[in-house]
Structure 1
Amino acid sequence: MTVSALPRRTTEAAPVPGLLRLTWAALFLNVLAFAGSVILVPIPESLGQLVTQGALLLAALLALILNRRATLRPDVFLVLLTVLAVVTLMTSLHNEFLLSSTFRACRLLLFLGVVWLLTPWLGSRQMELLRCHRQCHFVVLGLVLLGALVAPGLAFSFQGRLSGVLWPIPPTQVAHYAAILLGTSTVLWMCRVIGGRDAMVAIGLSSITLVATHTRTALLAAVIGLVFAGASLFFRHVRVRRTSAVVAAFAVLAATVFATELTAWVLRGQTAEDAGRLTGRTDVWAQVMALDRPLRERLFGRGMSDQSFNGLAIDSNWVATYLDQGWFGVSVIAVALITILLRAITYPPRPQRAVALFLIVYCMVASITETGLSTASPYLLDLVVAAALVAPSRRVRPSDPRGVT
């Protein structure tokens, strides 16, 4: 047999359609919240919010052009989220802050409408949505690191934690983007989907960024997500077994030699009591759960809010969902998570399953001290990508200039 007759082990992925890339970038920009913190070049908060909110309208327009025939694929995960959004809008119409609450509910509905228009790419073997998602993370981390190089003092001005200064991104969100890029890059490298050089750059930059943000939730969620993703690959990939052994040995060595330094890093200057109370988060959670509310509000919530209570951030998806969408919202989100988790577990042993497991487990762990699973947010985009990865396979022709056929 000649060399030219040998079968290729891998084939290059087809290029992502430019219009799909732009649509996803607009969606991503919409959930890239404008924090209004100090940045290198001051931008009026109203202008920043106009850019992010207007990006959703741009995403809707691009999605309609991309999918001119409005071809939709049924998906249980999206159906559950849509039902929640509709009920939330109905509840928001009775909120004391009618305009702001209704606006947030309508934004969630429009956000899901754009995602529905992208459902023809669910289940694609080319993983176009994941590739678009990772490219957006690369851009965000690039901006954060560039800002740290240009103005390091300003970038680390928030308690010594890395934040965005070219675009206002708080340390917790920077950590989220770094953790997602770190986890997906690691899984794709272990599955031999991306090469060693690309993986080294992605893993190196995201690891440095994650540590610099000093964010415990993102780090813990990434580690647990990688454990589950690695377990799904353990018996099929030699690289996973070797990497697991090396990482385990390194972790034991680091924990032994640098125990004091690691403890100080985890505590972040806090006492053990403060760390146990999750920096005061549990006090706010207790106040929300102890709130005396009518039965209707306990069941369906009071409508969309900024997910705060008495001026304090709630910082828990489940407590915030209970406040805004009641036990109905909590139940729908839980069922939606279980649905895509079971779909991932029963999916054929492919890279898509491992990446989806990482994203799902990451969001589940992070949801304890972060909000976003019940509203338009980066976390919801992560879950959409996970649902797309483990959806039933179906061929699409993304290169067709006329749109979806």
Structure 2
Amino acid sequence: MLSPRDAVADQNFLGDPAPRLLGAVWTLLVINTLGSQGADTIIPIPKPVAQIVTMGAVVGAFLLALLINPRIQLRPSAYLLILTLLLVASIASSVRMESGYGALLRCFRFTVFVATLWLVTRWWHDWLALVRHHVRAIAAVLATVLLGLVISPGTARPESYGGRVVGAIWPLTPPQVGLYSATVTGLVVLLWLGNRTTRTSMLLLAVPAVGLLLLSHTRTALIGLVAGLAVALLSLASTSERARKVFTRAALAAGLAVLVVGPALQTWFRRGQDDLSSLTGREKVWDALLAAPRTVSEQFLGVGLTNKSFDGLPIDSSWLAVYQEQGYMGLALVVAFLATLLAVAALRPPSLARACALFLIFYTIIASYTEAGLGDASPYLLNLFLAAALLATGARSTPRPEVRT
């Protein structure tokens, strides 16, 4: 039993409970990272309108965060400090106007995004609330994908994307659908293992999410989900018999699946392509980007924030996108915040919060090879912020076992 002095200290450490408006702040941050371009939708959404919605969402999130945190109480964060330095590098590269006025608008969005994350650090102690807000917001996005698939299957699985599922309500690309599906699946499975949600809630969220992931045919998302969950379960194996059983059964099931449905899996991974070595044409863009002549300043600071394309084609790599936009300085900062998160995770004792953080970190690292998003406001930076919050809880603040979702 805690002494009165220890109880007061523990209460100060934990802080006040997360307000209800925090869920609205987080939802607006998720909306901001949805992007404004993708497949055709059932009701056409002009790109300027989509941009206004996403830009307005981050501004709204910032104002709401100020409303619930008027004294601007912040928690120290190495991740956010390095991310702020990346923002400064982005502004320094963008003010030279090599990428036009759009770079300055992206810098403004990135600035408001980072400032909002700093304001949210006040409630890092309530990590379970943050995870639930994240799952609910992303599940709502996936619900719009399911709704579009039901209303207009042809629009939701267009021939232009090879029949892969897209967002027919809001313009979402197959990789985005895969990212959100994998994130929801991984987190709810881990929450169920940690007795923080019911089996029914887990199945209601994970089963449709896995279905959308398979329909999106996003190979990176599937690999990231499997690898991230494997690392998370291994991190819990030493302290959780349930995690050990799930890991063993999952490994046996995976081995059996490879033997029984191996040809079907191979067909799914190929997506009708004869050669996977070129990564669906990505290497041509990557080679052209690396071969392009650059000044010393462009090598060091990049050309400023862009729409993550080169010569009109998507870069589809976080590392090359950061090199293009923020140069070697940006690459060094991205490596720094990823290394910091991994180092902190290695030092934390086994816990559910640490397992969720490891899942998010490893998924992001795997996805960064073929998806852009580590150098600008994106779902990946939001996932890493949540991982930082989970790791910041340390070993002291462990929420009571709960089963609501």
Calculate the TM-score normalised by the size of structure 1: 0.91
Matched, 1:73 2:87: no
1:43 to partner: Cα distance? 2.1
- Contact kept, 8 Å, 2:99 with 2:304, in 1: the verdict is no
1:17 to partner: Cα distance? 2.2
Give the secondary structure class of the aligned counterpart of 2:85. Answer: helix
| Equivalent residue, structure 2, for 1:207 | 210
> Following the alignment from structure 1 to structure 2, what is the Cα–Cα distance between the partners of residues 368 and 270?
20
Identity, % of aligned pairs? 39
- Contact kept, 8 Å, 2:302 with 2:324, in 1: the verdict is yes
Letter in 2 for 1:155: A
| Equivalent residue, structure 2, for 1:62 | 64
> Following the alignment from structure 1 to structure 2, what is the Cα–Cα distance between the partners of residues 383 and 262?
30
Give the secondary structure class of the aligned counterpart of 1:376. Answer: coil
Matched, 1:168 2:171: yes
1:96 to partner: Cα distance? 2.5
Matched, 1:235 2:238: yes
- Contact kept, 8 Å, 2:92 with 2:301, in 1: the verdict is no
Letter in 1 for 2:236: L
| Equivalent residue, structure 1, for 2:198 | 195
Q: Which runs of 5+ in 2 are unaligned?
A: 1-15, 398-405
Matched, 1:217 2:220: yes
Q: Deviations over 1:143-178 (max 9, x none)?
A: 111111111121111311111111111111011000
What are the within-5 Å matches in structure 2 for residues 6-405 of structure 1?
17-122=19-124, 124-157=125-158, 158-272=161-275, 275-392=276-393
Q: Deviations over 1:198-236 (max 9, x none)?
A: 111121111111111111010001111011101101122
Q: Deviations over 1:317-369 (max 9, x none)?
A: 00010011001100100110010111112112211000000000000000000
- Contact kept, 8 Å, 2:186 with 2:225, in 1: the verdict is yes
Q: 1:382 to 1:112 in 2, by over 3 A?
A: same
- Contact kept, 8 Å, 1:77 with 1:339, in 2: the verdict is yes
Give the secondary structure class of the aligned counterpart of 1:43. Answer: coil
Give the secondary structure class of the aligned counterpart of 1:324. Answer: helix
> Following the alignment from structure 1 to structure 2, what is the Cα–Cα distance between the partners of residues 89 and 30?
19
- Contact kept, 8 Å, 2:156 with 2:167, in 1: the verdict is yes
Letter in 2 for 1:91: S
Letter in 2 for 1:233: L
Q: Deviations over 1:254-306 (max 9, x none)?
A: 1112221111111000013xx11101111211111122211111111111111
- Contact kept, 8 Å, 1:226 with 1:358, in 2: the verdict is yes
Q: Which runs of 5+ in 1 are unaligned?
A: 1-13, 397-405
> Following superposition, which runs of at least 4 residues in structure 1 exceed 3 angstroms of deviation?
392-396
Give the secondary structure class of the aligned counterpart of 2:392. Answer: coil
Letter in 2 for 1:150: I
Letter in 2 for 1:294: T
Give the secondary structure class of the aligned counterpart of 1:258. Answer: helix
1:237 to partner: Cα distance? 1.4
Give the secondary structure class of the aligned counterpart of 1:118. Answer: helix
> Following the alignment from structure 2 to structure 1, what is the Cα–Cα distance between the partners of residues 146 and 295?
48
Letter in 2 for 1:225: G
Q: Deviations over 1:235-265 (max 9, x none)?
A: 2212212212222222112111222111111
- Contact kept, 8 Å, 1:347 with 1:390, in 2: the verdict is yes
Give the secondary structure class of the aligned counterpart of 1:97. Answer: coil
- Contact kept, 8 Å, 1:345 with 1:353, in 2: the verdict is no
Calculate the TM-score normalised by the size of structure 2: 0.91
How many residues are paired up?
A: 380
C-alpha RMSD over aligned residues? 1.7
Letter in 1 for 2:341: I
